[in-house]
Amino acid sequence: MTGRVLGALGALLMMVAMPSAAQARLQCVAFARSNSEIQLTGNARDWWGNAEGAYARGETPRPGAVLAFRATRAMPMGHVAVVSKVVDERHVLLNHANWSRPGMVERGVMAVDVSEAGDWSEVRVWYGPTKSLGMRNSPAFGFIYPTDLAAADAPIKHKG
């Protein structure tokens, strides 16, 4: 084989062995940003702080809001999910990515407020592999509201 052929084969092998951007796993932040009107940057754990002054925040679930989870040992980057439907004060349906399996998108999955105060500071979320509301409570900051929801007539309880 000539050097040209070997070089071409080497380049081809590099393309096959190296993952492309299209093969990258979808993360919750990219999913939330593309499926909501909340346009924040940074890791999910930073969205609550990054929203200050740009978006209203609170503890009242509303469709279109982003539920921001705190970082934990199990979730060091935190998590964000888009509320697709409010079932009642303590139950919502979420659309999100990278929860049950790496890169997996889930739509219309149940999340339950399990906090004693009813303020969405502790949440259980549907976990696909166990077909249940997960094995642990996950701490959350609360909801980040798109501009149009912040002006809605229902009061928003603000959290610091």
Mean pLDDT of the chain: 85
Q: Does residue 55 sit within a domain?
A: yes
Q: Is residue 18 part of a domain?
A: no
Residues 61-88: pLDDT tens digits?
Answer: 999 999 999 999 999 999 999 999 999 9
pLDDT tens profile 98-114:
999 999 999 999 999 99
Let me know if residue 42 belongs to a domain: yes
In a domain, 91, yes or no: yes
92: part of which helix (H) or strand (E)?
Answer: strand 91-97
Supply the pTM of this predicted model. Answer: 0.80
Q: Is residue 76 part of a domain?
A: yes
- Check residue 134 and give its pLDDT: 86
Helix (H) or strand (E) holding 93: strand 91-97
Q: What is the CATH number of the domain that holds 122?
A: 3.90.1720.10
Q: Which of helix, strand or coil describes residue 27? A: coil
The total domain count for the chain is 1
Would you state the structure tokens that stand for residue 53, as one six-digit string? 């002054």
Which residue segment(s) compose the domain that 40 sits in?
Answer: 25-150
Residue 122 lies in a domain: yes
Q: Please check whether residue 144 is in contact with residue 48, taking contact to mean a CB–CB distance below 8 angstroms.
A: yes
